[in-house]
Amino acid sequence: MTKAIQRSWFEQYMVPCFAPAPFIPVKAEGSRVWDQDGKEYVDFAGGIAVNALGHANKELKETLSTQMENLWHIGNGYTNEPVLKLAKDLVENTFSDKVFFCNSGAEANEAALKIARKYALDKYGSHKNEIISFENSFHGRTLFTVTVGGQPKYSQDFAPLPQEITHLPYNDIETIKARISEKTCAVIVEPIIGEGGVIPADPAFMKALRELCDQYQALLIFDEIQTGVGRTGYLYAYEETGVVPDILTTAKGLGGGFPIGAMLVKQHVAEVFQPGSHGTTFGGNPLAAAVAHKVLSIVNQKAFLAGVQERHHEFIRQMTALNQRYQVFSEIRGKGLLLGAELTEKYQGKAKTLSNIAAEEGLIALIAGPNVLRFAPALNIGQQEISDGFTRLENALKRFVQE
């Protein structure tokens, strides 16, 4: 039977910078997804840590349709009620004093890196412009953020690249101690490296970054685009580290599937952006802000965040049990519902193969590099969905070890 809309149109009409799965999802609810053929999948990917409340969440649908009846877009020549409510909530529930809204993670980091450079320029002069980031980190796909990211394969083809960016090994206190200087204006770090392999930062490393940034008057930027909005069982992952950044970027889960990003900053940093310094057409639009405000109000509850921790233990228990039977993972790690399982020596480079087999078995999973299977499911994923997902993962592992 030929379908009205065909998967082959992707190759025919779209820029080939993605390699999407062979099936096309058409409908989803909670943590279940259906494709064009009516095949059902359990979703352990959550749209890459985006669908924090699952698909087609009732409260988000109601919030969006109410806002839709009133005001879609007005532009930043005016403010709007949803964006003011969202900004107030973010400030009152985090370290920050001020918020800038945009539409994606990369844009949030772009704003953070720009404000850090301007802050140093205004306060200390043009010599203070070096940005330190870490190997294997991921900060987005604009030219600035891709250059700051620690994966040269994503930036090298786009030279000339922005200058004065230094990449150092993650979790290595001695190296940054030796390299940071009066020239450094900012250090940007993921509290858990996400795309680069689900690698949590050592608490001592985070603490050292704060001390070094204070010593050299550099701003500390936490990229919480993947770790934020309840993902680790805290509203933001920095709360657990006890280390407070000067700037924090958030996106992905913030809109629960509606595009929105934000940069959270302390007052002294916010001040360097005046009218004209930076901007956006869509950032802070009422539809996105209304939905994000609802997401935040649901996620930022003690019981909800405790539920994320409970699910964490359930996922670890299930993955450990499966690994005892199939012995494919050398390490199972992560926090909350951002989890990575590193393949053993024998299966190096095979994470994509495993996730493809999982999809055939009815489980949507992610990878983080060639050797890590990654899960970032909805934070409210149900018990039945978890157990169905692991049954399907077991079916996939049976095939994986044979093939």
Name the minimum Å distance from CB 53 to ligand PLP. Answer: 18
Per the document, the length of the chain is 403
In the complex with ligand PLP, the residue whose CB is nearer, 223 or 342, is 223
Instruction: Check whether 43 is labelled as a binding-site residue.
Output: no
- Helix/strand/coil for 63: helix
In the complex with ligand PLP, the residue whose CB is nearer, 104 or 155, is 104
In the complex with ligand PLP, the residue whose CB is nearer, 188 or 396, is 188
In the complex with ligand PLP, the residue whose CB is nearer, 145 or 184, is 145
Cβ-Cβ contacts under 8 Å for 359 (sequence gap 6 or more): 21, 23, 41, 365
Asked if residue 139 binds ligand PLP (CB under 6 A), the reply is yes
Name the minimum Å distance from CB 145 to ligand PLP. Answer: 7
CB-based burial of residue 92 (10 Å sphere; 0-12 exposed, 13-18 middle, 19+ buried)? exposed
Asked if residue 369 binds ligand PLP (CB under 6 A), the reply is no
Distance CA(25)–CA(142), nearest Å, equals: 28
Asked if residue 105 binds ligand PLP (CB under 6 A), the reply is yes
Binding residues among 223-252 for ligand PLP as defined by CB under 6 A: 223, 225-226, 251-252
Instruction: Check whether 2 is labelled as a binding-site residue.
Output: no
Size of the site for ligand PLP (CB under 6 A): 15
Helices within 37-165 (DSSP H only): 46-49, 58-70, 81-92, 105-124, 143-148
Exactly one of 99, 106, 328, 339 binds ligand PLP (CB under 6 A); that residue is 106
Instruction: Check whether 138 is labelled as a binding-site residue.
Output: yes
Instruction: Check whether 225 is labelled as a binding-site residue.
Output: yes
CB-based burial of residue 254 (10 Å sphere; 0-12 exposed, 13-18 middle, 19+ buried)? buried
Exactly one of 138, 144, 222, 375 binds ligand PLP (CB under 6 A); that residue is 138
Asked if residue 190 binds ligand PLP (CB under 6 A), the reply is yes
Residue 117 DSSP symbol: H
Exactly one of 30, 82, 140, 200 binds ligand PLP (CB under 6 A); that residue is 140
Nearest residue to 91 via CA among 250, 266, 256, 255:
266
* Dihedral sign from CA coordinates of 100, 103, 107, 109: positive
In the complex with ligand PLP, the residue whose CB is nearer, 5 or 15, is 15
In the complex with ligand PLP, the residue whose CB is nearer, 128 or 227, is 227
- The tally of CA atoms less than 13 A away on the side-chain side of residue 402 is 7
Cβ-Cβ contacts under 8 Å for 41 (sequence gap 6 or more): 25, 32, 33, 34, 35, 359, 362, 363, 364
Sort strands 165-168 and 130-134 into parallel, antiparallel or unpaired: parallel
Q: By CB under 6 A, name the binding residues for ligand PLP.
A: 104-106, 109, 138-140, 190, 194-195, 223, 225-226, 251-252
Q: Which residue ranges are tagged as binding site? A: 105-106, 138, 141, 223-226, 280-281
Q: Which residue ranges are tagged as binding site for pyridoxal 5'-phosphate? A: 105-106, 138, 223-226, 281
